[in-house]
Amino acid sequence: VQLVESGGGLVQAGGSLRLSCVVSGASFDDIGILWYRQAPGKDREGVSCIKISDQRTYYEDYAKGRFTISSDNAKNMVYLQMNDLKPEDTAVYYCAGGSTPPSDRPRSMCPFVHFWGQGTQVTVSS
């Protein structure tokens, strides 16, 4: 299984970026995808998840209202649209995927991580 992110870059505060994650080698409809990020000197933190089969999504509090996760099942792609970016959003963003917990579990749209990408750098200038 291979995940490849793209779409990162340098943007001014208040700007937007759309990250993409293409998945190959997995049954796309059977997985969930997680976006997470890691800033220099900080712990890794989750951003958002999507369960491909039913399109249920989850967002961390700081991402609600600014970020949108979506998928294009025909292209095996997952997107993270990021609006109103802030300098504190600066980080390497990764997509990761795997099977998902049973639907009756909390945050069941977020996968057990079995595979992940190499990351894409997002830098937000003030």
State the Cα–Cα distance between residues 64 and 104, nearest whole angstrom.
Answer: 23
36 membership: H or E segment, kind and range: strand 32-38
The token pair that represents 16 in the structure block: 């937007």
State the Cα–Cα distance between residues 98 and 121, nearest whole angstrom.
Answer: 23
Band the pLDDT of 106: cuts 50, 70, 90.
confident
pLDDT in tens, 64-92: 999 999 999 999 999 999 999 999 999 99
Model pLDDT, residue 114: 94
For residues 87-102, give the mean pLDDT: 96
The token pair that represents 7 in the structure block: 């779409």
**Confidence check: pLDDT of 23 > 90:** yes
Model pLDDT, residue 104: 86
Band the pLDDT of 113: cuts 50, 70, 90.
very high
Angle among Cα 54, 16, 30 to the nearest 5 degrees reads 20
Model pLDDT, residue 3: 97
Distances (CA, A) of 61 to 47, 58, 115: 9, 9, 25
**Confidence check: pLDDT of 111 > 90:** yes
The token pair that represents 95 in the structure block: 């997509």
**Confidence check: pLDDT of 29 > 90:** yes
85 and 11 Cβ atoms separated by less than 8 Å: yes
**Confidence check: pLDDT of 103 > 90:** no
